[in-house]
Chain A
Amino acid sequence: MGACRLGAPMEYHGRAASSSSSSAGEPAPEGPEGRRREPLRRRASSASEPAAGASAEGVRRNRPGSYSGPTSVSRQRAESVRKKRPLFPWFGLDIGGTLVKLVYFEPKDITAEEEEEEVESLKSIRKYLTSNVAYGSTGIRDVHLELKDLTLCGRKGNLHFIRFPTHDMPAFIQMGRDKNFSSLHTVFCATGGGAYKFEQDFLTIGDLQLLKCDELDCLIKGILYIDSVGFNGRSPCYYFENPADSEKCQKLPFDLKNPYPLLLVNIGSGVSILAVYSKDNYKRVTGTSLGGGTFFGLCCLLTGCTTFEEALEMASRGDSTKVDKLVRDIYGGDYERFGLPGWAVASSFGNMMSKEKREAVSKEDLARATLITITNNIGSIARMCALNENINQVVFVGNFLRINTIAMRLLAYALDYWSKGQLKALFSEHEGYFGAVGALLELLKIP
């Protein structure tokens, strides 16, 4: 996936844009664009009317304090570029069932002139986001994922990756209100189901217009984009060698030079599986409700844990073979008739049918078994989809895989083992953020 495809035109626009510092109190081009997407939103008619009215009003309003720069000869040229480039701040938002993923582009090429003109609220956002690594009690910036010196739409800067639980969404919207986001006339490009769910709240509480973007479009755009720009000179994509062997297991970079066709397995709360044939040609193959939310939900019920990290930590110390019934538990060894190895799980939680065994397992064992169950199942479904679609590289993304080496190695191993080496499991450093990146790209009109 050549950098030139996305990178080259951007560089061009970038140079043109850097000379521009002008602005005008015009409606943002995104306004009407946003409304053109209206049919996508299907609200009850009673709700849709005020929503539509409010959005029209929002577009028409003046924008005090935005770059009200001097006119110049370069204005015409600048204008054309500017039209393609929205005002700061640049956010991409992906509101999932469990987590909100936020990417923020921090411009590092701000001129003194710009700095001077930058309104206070914009400055405060920038400072707040870039000088902290945690926000409130639940927001976290994944510093290790930051993309540095990125050129995006003609501007140079760093891309920050922030996440917080979806249940804190009201607080986030409240913060937007408190920080007076609406005065910036920025447009929030948002994807994920929450873009629909919270749209009204953004509007009524935060006075903010959301531009809802298609979830799957964003996901794919995001992946292709990150792959094209790389990860600060490293490969953003990797795989595991000898995943089953804790001694020899190695995480190695993978060059996704021939990305297509690609099976994309996005493991969030639930799982979506996409077959991607080219940048614009993809389809949702299937999905399963047994995803990250299931792992964490079951762990909460079974172990009383309260965080994903805690669940994973418990799992890392547990032994699932006490919980699961293995092939060897039934057949004493391999079931040769079917070529089933003795170590394979015959029945997840199968040992828990017995009262004695239920009493003998630890919470850690249960957490581990839950993790193994969910992961193996996703691996199975992914493998079957890959076979049915005749695709042999499978990229697993989504926040279920965050700090989840056990799951990744298991997926890598299961795919390789059951496909007899035909399928390759690939992973990506920015696991859960692709939707948000895609939403940002939507904002910037980057194809």
Chain B
Amino acid sequence: MAECGASGSGSSGDSLDKSITLPPDEIFRNLENAKRFAIDIGGSLTKLAYYSTVQHKVAKVRSFDHPGKDTEQDHEPPYEISVQEEITARLHFIKFENTYIEACLDFIKDHLVNTETKVIQATGGGAYKFKDLIEEKLQLKVDKEDVMTCLIKGCNFVLKNIPHEAFMYQKDADPEFRFQTNHPNIFPYLLVNIGSGVSIVKVETEDEFEWIGGSSIGGGTFWGLGALLTKTKKFDELLHLASKGQHTNVDMLVQDIYGGACQTLGLSGTLIASSFGKSATADREFSKEDMAKSLLHMISNDIGQLACLYAKLHHLDRIYFGGFFIRGHPVTMRTITYSINFFSKGEVQALFLRHEGYLGAIGAFLKGAEQDNPNQYSWGENYAGSSGLMSSSPELCPAQRARSGTFDLLEMDRLARPLVDLPLLLDPSSYVPDTVDLTEDPMARKYWLSCFEEALDGVVKRAVASQPDSIDAAERAEKFRQKYWNKLQTLRHQPFAYGTLTVRSLLDTREHCLNEFNFPDPYSKVKQKENGVALKCFQQVVRSLDALGWEERQLALVEGLLAGNVFDWGAKAVSDVLESDPQFGFEEAKRKLQERPWLVDSYNDWLQRLKGPPHKCALIFADNSGVDIILGVFPFVRELLFRGTEVILACNSGPALNDVTYSESLIVAERIAAMDPIIHSALGEERLLLVQTGSSSPCLDLSRLDKGLAALVRERGADLVVIEGMGRAVHTNYHATLRCESLKLAVIKNSWLADRLGGQLFSVIFKYEVPTE
């Protein structure tokens, strides 16, 4: 009923060399600052958790003390950039076989410096067994935590903080994993933990859960009975046997009882009428494989049936499965899924978790860290430091990789700000940010993986160039290249490793890897320069816009927005142009744009709308620095303000490519205000508000936005959302449905994508949407 058993990760009983050299830097990372340890020791796997801080270089921008003076000099940058150290919090989780426990404890002891930690939270069946060893090695007091409480705390945590944590398993589908978008409200749910026995727990809130039932027929039954029947000792070997067997040789099927005709009861003939029903005979031998298979079916069906009965009684339609019986084994996920579908007639979903193995350790850690209030923060999976689903990290040395899943890592970064849904989403529970699921689209996947591979050289070059004064920049950039390259290779083979593979996840992974090697903002100088240049043109652009008639001006403003959006270092086609021709100007960009009618063109409707009453408040998600924000977005904002619409301008909290960051936007706004009375007064009167998104991604997930932004949107009653840029309006949110009017605009700066959408390079998307009643 509680997990006391073990995961059978194969080699547990083998004569593994305990003195095996660990590649410590890659496994127990950031150990020097580690505090708060938790450990979950199962029958064969140990999961260690610790909290650590990571020192990062960050690029900070700051206005010069005397801005007026500096702007007069043409070659001076508009603001200064300084690289500072910033400390962020990170959770580290490491999973390894119990065989290594002593070596690992030794390693931790040797590398743990000046920590004030006195206790270690421990859970799992093995916690007791290893208590003395841990206390002796680490000089920490072992605090035993309740297994189920830890499990559920861990489960809540991953469901809330890791997008695409849960997935359905589909036997013959490609891919076999179908990831779920995170439901805004994860409660209530049913957790069925299949350890040696089965526990069925109803989780109602963060702190409330109830053990509603269980069954003694679980993983231990499969293992124990399987060992008796087949003389096979190991769990994994039993599963392997099962995957090769024919249960029909051992089980009595409906058709065995009915002969050929068995449709009469509405039962399929291949249904099992009696598990092991055919073995009730002394005169036959049964193969190990067949018996193992029959046993697997018997146990999986039984668990599925009970789980469905409990789900029905409690009116729940989602069941998360965990425990060592499941732990990433396709065989058991398949049989459990089949059983749930069968017994619930498709009404109940069997869901599995990517980080199922870590739940206990996460929960134990959270128990110990309650005073730090980890639940008040939002956390994000760090793709750079996490192994991903069922992959043995390619970064590890090959000898270790050979032992499947020997060391598996998960890292979670504490995000600076708590994240919530955008209140304007029509249906947060069905919102999917990403437009294309690359796990389901092999063509697109192939293209984008290659695209990111090809762009890697440029990114490396850019990273090195951004830190001319650093001696080890080239070396770090090379490490970055290796890391990201390996991630891309992993994703080629296991597209599902980090949940649904999307352009966004590829971009985010790249940002995580860059950060990992201290390239926090490779574009900081480019952005600085472009902002400087664009600021100089602002007044001229505004003047020429003001000279236009109203209708002409509206089009020119939109074209300006679009032209500005051409300046995108994230798009390879553009970065090539920008690289070769730094003077590539605003006017030139306008000429590159597709002529109307655009690829997607609802401009006429927008124009009609503008002839009507002004919007109350517009929320604008900005994209690039420089021309885009200054000559595209700000004139547009200015017009909205002029119309009497309040504007919330949302920029990224952290850097991503050449996207404008919140702190940069503050400076830019300040500088524009100095030149423009409309912007000036709007800022002063708080009719123009600059906020941060809480994100550091070139894409946009409207279900994970800064809490302050969400509050402001609600407070001001925003009734128009403007999303610009390929990353935010095409790769993501293209199909997002909002409760208010929205404008999604972008220039397609990728010929493959343009081709897919039926257009050409620099095709324009102008999508104005009005919610249907």
What is the interface of chain A, defined by CB distance below 8 A to chain B?
40-44, 47, 96-98, 192-194, 196-200, 215, 268-270, 284, 286, 288-294, 296-298, 300-302, 304, 306, 323-325, 327, 330-331, 335, 337-340, 344-353, 355, 358, 366, 373, 376-377, 380-381, 384-385, 387-388
Chain B 201-223: CB-based contact to A (< 8 A → 1; otherwise 0): 00000000001011111111101
Query: Which residues from B are CB-within-8-Å of A199?
Result: 259
- Among B149, B227, B257, contact of A269 (Cβ-Cβ < 8 Å): B257
B306, A194: Cβ atoms under 8 Å?
A: no
Contact B279 A300 (CB under 8 A): yes
Residues of B within 8 A of A381 (CB): 305-306, 309
Additional A-B contact list (8), CB under 8 Å, known A43-B261, A304-B282, A358-B228: A42-B261, A42-B264, A97-B273, A97-B274, A196-B260, A297-B250, A330-B4, A350-B224
Could you tell me if A301 and B277 are in contact, using CB atoms closer than 8 angstroms? no
Q: A330 to B250, alpha carbons, bound, how many Å?
A: 33
Could you say which residues of chain B place their CB within 8 Å of the CB of A193? 254, 257-259, 262, 273
* Minimal beta-carbon separation of B763 from chain A (angstroms): 57
Give the B interface residue count (CB, 8 A): 69
Alpha-carbon separation in the docked complex, A327 to B199 (Å):
12
Q: Say yes or no: A340 contacts B261, CB within 8 Å.
A: no
Q: Is the CB of B196 within 8 A of A380?
A: no
Which residues does chain B contribute within 8 Å of A347, judged by CB atoms?
A: 1, 4-5, 195-197, 216, 218-221, 224
Which of B197, B223, B271 has the most chain A CB within a 10 Å cutoff? B197
Could you tell me if A349 and B228 are in contact, using CB atoms closer than 8 angstroms?
Answer: yes
The CA of A215 and the CA of B250, in the complex, are separated in Å by 24
Q: CB within 8 Å of A: which of B211-245?
A: 211, 213-221, 223-225, 227-229, 233
Does B280 sit within 8 A of A, measured CB to CB?
yes
Q: Could you give 17 example pairs across A and B, Cβ below 8 Å?
A: A43-B260, A197-B258, A200-B259, A269-B257, A284-B265, A288-B302, A290-B217, A290-B275, A293-B252, A293-B275, A300-B281, A337-B149, A344-B216, A347-B221, A349-B223, A349-B228, A384-B213
By the criterion CB–CB under 8 Å, are A289 and B196 in contact?
Answer: no
Interface centre among A96, A292, A380, A387 (most CB of B within 10 A): A380
In the complex, what distance in Å separates the CA atom of A35 from the CA atom of B1? 53
Q: Given the complex of chains A and B, what is the CA–CA distance between A181 and B274 in angstroms?
A: 33
Q: How many A-B residue pairs have CB under 8 A?
A: 231
**Bound form: Cα–Cα A327–B148 in Å:** 14
A193 — nearest CB in chain B belongs to which residue?
B257
Residue on B nearest A192 in the bound complex, by CB: B257
Known: A350-B197, A387-B313. A288 touches B305 (CB 8 A): yes
Q: Would you call A97 and B257 a contact (CB within 8 A)?
A: yes
Q: B309–A348 contact, CB under 8 A?
A: no
Check if A388 sits within 8 Å of B312, measured CB to CB: yes
Question: Is B362 in contact with chain A by the CB < 8 A criterion?
Answer: no
Q: Is the CB of B197 within 8 A of A198?
A: no
Q: Does B646 contact A (CB under 8 A)?
A: no
Interchain CB contact under 8 A, B227 and A358: yes
Let me know if B261 and A196 touch, CB within 8 A: yes
In the complex, the answer to whether B301 meets A289 with C-beta atoms within 8 Å is yes
Are A97 and B263 closer than 8 Å at their CB atoms? Answer: no
When the two chains form their complex, are residues A269 and B215 in contact, meaning their CB atoms are under 8 A apart?
no
Determine if B521 is an interface residue (Cβ-Cβ < 8 Å).
no
Residues of A within 8 A of B277 (CB): 97-98, 269-270, 289, 293-294, 297
Chain B 298-324, CB within 8 Å of chain A: the 1/0 string? 100110011001101100000000000
Q: Is the CB of A290 within 8 A of B298?
A: yes
Contact A348 B273 (CB under 8 A): no
B256 interfacial contact with A, CB 8 Å: yes
Q: Is the CB of A346 within 8 A of B264?
A: no
Taken together as a complex, chains A and B put the C-alpha atoms of A96 and B256 apart, in Å, by 10
Contact B148 A337 (CB under 8 A): yes
Interface assignment of B125: CB less than 8 Å from any CB of chain A: yes
Q: How far is the CA of A347 from the CA of B2 in the complex (A)?
A: 9
Neighbour of A373 across the interface among B43, B217, B227, CB < 8 A: B217
Q: How far is the CA of A196 from the CA of B259 in the complex (A)?
A: 6
- Most chain A CB within 10 A, of B2, B149, B211, B280, is at B280
Task: Say which residue of B220, B279, B282 sits within 8 Å of A349 (CB atoms).
Answer: B220
CB-based contact B306/A302 at 8 Å: no
Interface residues of B in 17-69 (CB under 8 A from A): 43
Q: Is B452 an interface residue, CB under 8 A from the partner?
A: no
CB-CB < 8 A to B221: which residues of A? 347-350, 373
Do A302 and B217 touch across chains, with their CB atoms under 8 A apart? no
Instruction: Indicate whether B276 reaches chain A with its CB closer than 8 angstroms.
Output: yes
Cα A82 to Cα B262 with chains together (Å): 34
> Which residues of the partner chain A approach B1 to less than 8 Å between Cβ atoms?
327, 335, 338, 340, 344, 346-347
- B659 CB, min distance to chain A CBs, angstroms: 49
The reply on B291 being an interface residue by CB < 8 A is yes
With contacts A330-B4, A353-B5, A358-B227 known, is A297 near B280, CB below 8 A?
Answer: yes
Contacts of A97 in B (CB 8 A): 252, 256-257, 273-274, 277
The 5 closest A-B pairs by CB, nearest first: A352-B224, A197-B259, A193-B257, A293-B274, A297-B276
Q: Collect the chain B residues with CB atoms within 8 Å of residue A297's CB.
A: 250, 274-280
> How far apart are the CA atoms of A355 and B231 in the complex, in Å?
10
Least CB separation from A327: chain B residue: B1
Task: Identify A353's interface contact among B223, B261, B313, B343, CB under 8 A.
Answer: B223
User: Residue B286 at the A interface, CB < 8 A?
Assistant: yes
B146 at the interface (CB under 8 A from A): yes
B225 (CB) vs chain A CBs: closest residue:
A349
Nearest A residue (CB) for B195: A347
Contacts of B343 in A (CB 8 A): 286
B289 contacts partner chain A, Cβ-Cβ < 8 Å = no
User: What is the bound-complex CA distance between A393 and B275, given in angstroms?
Assistant: 27
B125 and A330 contact, CB distance less than 8 A: yes
CB-based nearest A residue for B4:
A330
By the criterion CB–CB under 8 Å, are B227 and A352 in contact? Answer: yes
How close is B199's CB to chain A, nearest CB, in angstroms?
8
- Measured between beta carbons, the chain B residues less than 8 angstroms from A300 are 279-282
A46 CB → nearest B CB, Å: 11
Interface pair B211/A338, CB less than 8 Å apart: yes
Q: Which residue of B lies closest to A372 (CB)?
A: B216
Q: Which A residues are CB-close (under 8 A) to B4?
A: 325, 330, 346-347
Cβ of B280: which chain A residues have Cβ within 8 Å of it? 98, 293, 296-297, 300
- By beta carbon, the residue of chain B nearest A166 is B257
Nearest-Cβ distance from residue B291 to partner chain A, whole angstroms: 7
State whether the Cβ of B516 lies closer than 8 Å to any Cβ in chain A. no
Q: Does B340 contact A (CB under 8 A)?
A: no
Instruction: Evaluate contact between B196 and A353: CB separation under 8 angstroms.
Output: yes
A366 to B221, CA, bound (A): 12
Q: In this complex, what residue of A is CB-closest to B301? A: A289
Is residue B272 within 8 Å, beta carbon to beta carbon, of the partner chain?
A: yes
Measured in the bound complex, the distance between the Cα atoms of B312 and A198 in whole Å is 38
Q: B313 contacts A377, CB within 8 Å? A: no
Please determine whether B273 and A384 come into contact, CB atoms closer than 8 angstroms: no
Would you give the shortest CB distance from A114 to chain B, in whole angstroms?
38
For A357, the closest partner residue in chain B by CB is: B224
Interface centre among A200, A268, A301, A345 (most CB of B within 10 A): A301
From the candidates A44, A47, A290, A345, name the one contacting B216 in the complex (CB within 8 A).
Answer: A345
Q: Closest approach, in angstroms, between the C-beta of B401 and any C-beta of chain A?
A: 28
B279 contacts across to A, CB distance below 8 A: 297-298, 300-301
Does residue B706 face the partner (Cβ distance < 8 Å to A)?
A: no
Q: What's the nearest-Cβ distance from chain A to residue B198, in Å?
A: 9
| Cα distance, A132 to B369, chains bound together (Å) | 77
Complex CA–CA separation, A338 to B214 (angstroms): 10
From B274, which residue of chain A is reached at the shortest CB distance? A293
Tell me whether B251 is interfacial, beta carbon within 8 Å. Answer: yes
Q: How far is the CA of A388 from the CA of B498 in the complex (A)?
A: 39
Q: Is the Cβ of B215 less than 8 Å from the Cβ of A292? A: no
User: What is the minimal beta-carbon distance from A251 to any residue of chain B, in angstroms?
Assistant: 26
Contact at A215–B313, with CB atoms within 8 Å? no
Complex alpha-carbon distance, A331 and B4, angstroms = 10
Chain A residues near B282 (CB, 8 Å)? 300, 304, 306
Provide the residues of chain A in CB contact with B6, threshold 8 Å.
Answer: 353
Taking the nearest CB of chain B, how far is it from the CB of A372, in angstroms? 9
Contact A350 B275 (CB under 8 A): no
